[in-house]
Amino acid sequence: MLPTQLPQVLYRYFSLNGMVHIPGLGQLNLCRIPAINDFIGKKILPFSYVIRYDRWEEKMPDEQLSYIQKHIGLETDNLVLALKNLEEDMKTRLQAEGKIEWQGVGSFILNEHGDILFHQKNHATVTHTDVRYKHVLREKIDHPVIVGEQEKTLAEMEEYFEDKTTKKFIKGWKLGALILFLLIIAILSARFFIGNYSIFEPTLSPLHSAEPSVSHILMK
């Protein structure tokens, strides 16, 4: 294979690995967007691919360099020289034309600030069609579930948790009632033993009869 076929080898490497370092331009990375459930539209949108462009000045990865060398059939020194020539050619074309189409994937563009941008040909590459479905709403579904080593139905589990909640509520209510009862007994006992010996008397201090003192003397 001739060095002039380097762009085709780079594109093949990109198709197989989802990334490629293009000399003089940067690196392209193929990113997968997961499938999306369109609940309103009642369909599942398939996964798609977008290309992320990174403007890196780093050297080409060793894996990519080995792949190119295997398919080009050049010695290491000659391959490095061919890649250097490709880099210079890419930069020269971009400076002269302002835009380079790359293997039908997208375009490298030089903006007014001298920055290299990449515009993907298609906004997203979709490999599958939408999957339509119907909404099925059921009032109650009863199916078996494994609980420990036993198999129980969903209804049995719901009943179990409802009974557990009810028992917990009753237990709490009884405890509260007992505390309230003991508190009332304590208050009545305190009024009976400390007060005027009558649980119905509102005063707390006992009443004692007293003789009235003489305040004046009648003169005959």
188-202 pLDDT tens trace = 777 666 655 454 555
In this structure, are 128 and 172 located in the same domain? no
Please report which confidence band the pLDDT of residue 124 belongs to, taking 50, 70 and 90 as the band edges.
low
Looking at 115, 132, 149, the residue that finishes a domain is 132
Distance between CA atoms of 26 and 10, rounded to whole angstroms? 12
Name the residue type at position 30: L
Distance between CA atoms of 158 and 214, rounded to whole angstroms? 83
Structure tokens of 98? 């302002």
Into how many domains does the chain fold?
2
Residues spanned by the domain of 186 = 138-206
In this structure, are 87 and 193 located in the same domain? no
Quote the pLDDT of residue 189: 73
69-85 exposure pattern, b = at least 16 Cβ within 10 A, e = fewer:
beebebeeeebeebbee
30-75 pLDDT tens trace = 888 888 888 888 888 888 888 888 877 567 888 998 898 888 888 8
- Helix residue spans in the chain (DSSP H): 6-17, 62-72, 76-97, 154-194
Contact 46, 127 (CB under 8 A): yes
In this structure, are 128 and 145 located in the same domain? no
Looking at 117, 132, 147, the residue that finishes a domain is 132
Looking at 132, 156, 173, the residue that finishes a domain is 132
The answer to whether residue 214 is domain-embedded is: no
- Res. 144: pLDDT tops 80: no
